Amino acid sequence: MDVEVQEDSSESFASAGVRRENRLGLRRRCACVAGLLFLLSEAVTGTAAFAVVPRVVLHRTTATSDWRAVGKQRGTQQRTRALVAGEGRVFETRTVLKSSTSGNTAGAMDGEQENAKIIDGKATAAAIRAELKGEVEAHVQSSGGPPPGLAVVLVGDRRDSATYVRMKKKACDEIGVSSFGFDFPEDVTQDELLACVGELNSRPDVHGILVQLPLPKHIDEQSVLQAITPSKDVDGLHPANVAALCTGRTRAPGQAASWQLKDLDFHVPCTPQGCIELLDRYGVEIAGKRAVVLGRSNIVGIPVSMLLMHRDATVTMTHSKTVDIASVVREADIVVCAAGRAEMVKADWIKPGAAVIDVGINSVDDATTKKGYRLVGDVDFKAAKQVAAKITPVPGGVGPMTIAMLLRNTVNGATRAAAAAAAAGGGSAGSGSTPNLPVPPPDSSSDKVAAPTPDTASS
């Protein structure tokens, strides 16, 4: 039952006249009777077609001295309003009605939206690895060459970096990709690193080169990353790959343009690629939607914004200087959080029904855990899942996808190299580079340092 009684509360009741008082008195009685009848019907039947969830907040208006009781609407729920006039005051009561089914009214009475669908990055990454394993087997059979190979260069003894490298090697072993480890001490020179990269560029059994970051301060990271042949830059950080992403070039001249990840002929950074893959696999429409990206790093923020834009989303990128970020995020159908601040995005920032991809990973103190801390994302997950339609957890969301996309880039590199070799009329399936991407000139240093022996042992 809907009761709609509205009056202009900005006018003083004392000066409205007898006629106005009579009208208000009549309407007040009608509203009260209607409300009582509704409540009586519930008491008699014992069940209700709707669960009644009051959300009442008092605030004072500026136009008059009246107080109003304003109901807070949640989601896209139905509501009914009764405006009851009293002496010198107007009270507005909004009752939020939420559909419920017989036998399940208790769940509706709490007034909370059902939890969002969890975007399971761990399960999705496992499915992708299974797909890639089949592609690796097909590649070896069709090309007659070596399996795809990934070389990982590690400098120093950072425990977190060593852990990431072990995880990558394990993933390679799982799908049949050869892994090569090149470990250097903390005091390695830049020339030694460049020599190693130059050696890997020329190896036909290496289709992907990854230099584990961060590097020591005395090493120029950009010089090392730019020395990698673009077709083997599986991190997607070489200027040639960045240019392809930013300029919107997707295929060779004469071929149809496509921004489906599987159709791109250059390497896209792994984490942004994983974000888009999760949206695609969970049926989130991108074209025509409003997307907001929190963060503008070269690793995540900028590339994921470009990918969303090329998929016809309307993209807004926010950062530390953005004014009133919350109001910007509230407009988004798709939210990608890569700000690096624990639980920065609150539930009331999120548009009901939005898809939320949380890239952040932060540790917060927690004395109740064995380690004394727990990992959280940039989003207040527990509260946000009551509002969003789909959301990634932390951990178990974007993280597993990053390694899965690294493997995909490596396999794609091997496939492109084989196709390029076949188009050239022979040659090694592992040599050469993607024809469309410029290759940096070889290192001119005459005193090359021999690269370490590859470590192919599984971990």
Asked, for residue 178, whether it belongs to a domain, the answer is: yes
Instruction: Note whether 102 and 121 are same-domain residues.
Output: no
Is position 168 annotated as part of the catalytic site? yes
Is position 212 annotated as part of the catalytic site? yes
Instruction: Note whether 105 and 126 are same-domain residues.
Output: no
| CA 306 to each of CA 247, 254, 300, 436: distance values in angstroms, whole numbers, following the listed order | 9, 23, 10, 20
Is position 78 annotated as part of the catalytic site? no
Asked, for residue 134, whether it belongs to a domain, the answer is: yes
Higher pLDDT, 114 or 17: 114
Instruction: Note whether 88 and 143 are same-domain residues.
Output: no
Which of these, 64, 59, 69, 74, lies nearest to 92 by C-alpha position?
69
Residue ending a domain, among 90, 109, 128, is 109
Active-site annotation holder among 98, 120, 168, 351: 168
pLDDT at position 1: 47
Instruction: Note whether 249 and 392 are same-domain residues.
Output: yes
CATH (domain of 327): 3.40.50.720
Q: What confidence category does residue 108 fall into, taking pLDDT thresholds of 50, 70 and 90?
A: very low
pLDDT at position 115: 82
Average pLDDT of the residues of the chain: 77
Active-site annotation holder among 66, 235, 358, 380: 235
Cα–Cα distance for residue pair 451/448, rounded to 1 Å: 9
Asked, for residue 455, whether it belongs to a domain, the answer is: no
Instruction: Note whether 298 and 399 are same-domain residues.
Output: yes
Instruction: Note whether 97 and 124 are same-domain residues.
Output: no
Instruction: Tell me: pLDDT of 109 over 60.
Output: no
Instruction: Note whether 208 and 103 are same-domain residues.
Output: no
Of 13-17, 131-135, 302-306, 366-370, the range with the lowest mean pLDDT is 13-17
Cα–Cα distance for residue pair 224/198, rounded to 1 Å: 10
pLDDT in tens, 381-406: 999 999 999 999 999 999 999 999 99
Cα–Cα distance for residue pair 389/402, rounded to 1 Å: 23
Indicate the pTM of the whole model: 0.69
pLDDT at position 247: 86
Instruction: Note whether 248 and 300 are same-domain residues.
Output: yes
Instruction: Note whether 225 and 374 are same-domain residues.
Output: yes
Q: Which domain holds residue 249?
A: 117-423
The domain total for the chain is 2
Higher pLDDT, 345 or 449: 345
Asked, for residue 234, whether it belongs to a domain, the answer is: yes
Per the CB < 8 A criterion, the answer to whether 391 and 384 are in contact is yes
Instruction: Note whether 101 and 122 are same-domain residues.
Output: no
Instruction: Note whether 67 and 185 are same-domain residues.
Output: no
Interacting residues of 353 by C-beta distance below 8 A, sequence separation 6+: 76, 333, 388, 389
Asked, for residue 237, whether it belongs to a domain, the answer is: yes
